[in-house]
Amino acid sequence: MSTNALFLVEGGRPNGHAEHWHGGVEQSVDCAIRAGFRIGRRVRIGRIPGAVVGYNISRFGRFCGASYPLLVETEFGVAKCSLHEVAAA
């Protein structure tokens, strides 16, 4: 099994509240795992091959984990994807 270096990207919120929204990101990531999209799974985004390399746990921003729970590495880089955008390869 090949290994990948992981990087921690520091994030932040402008208003600084530490509220926890139950069900959003956790539910989406759990749904992705139950659908078979585990780390290492070969997938396609349209015709582009890739592999699931992680899960998007961001709670805020344009591409939050509740809507785009999968991190997929392709030849073009890593993309945040929804379950509707990927198919098992």
pLDDT recorded at residue 10: 61
- pLDDT tens-digit readout, 30-84: 999 999 999 999 999 999 999 999 999 988 888 899 999 999 999 999 999 999 9
Going by pLDDT thresholds of 50, 70 and 90, the confidence category of residue 2 is low
Please name the amino acid found at residue 33: I
Domains in the chain (CATH in brackets) are 44-89 (2.30.30)
Sort residue 84 into left (φ over 0), alpha (ψ -120 to 50) or beta: alpha
Q: Cα dist. 84→3, 6, 17, 81, 87 in Å?
A: 27, 25, 31, 8, 8
CB 16 within 8 A of CB 2: no
Is the pTM higher than 0.85? The answer reads no
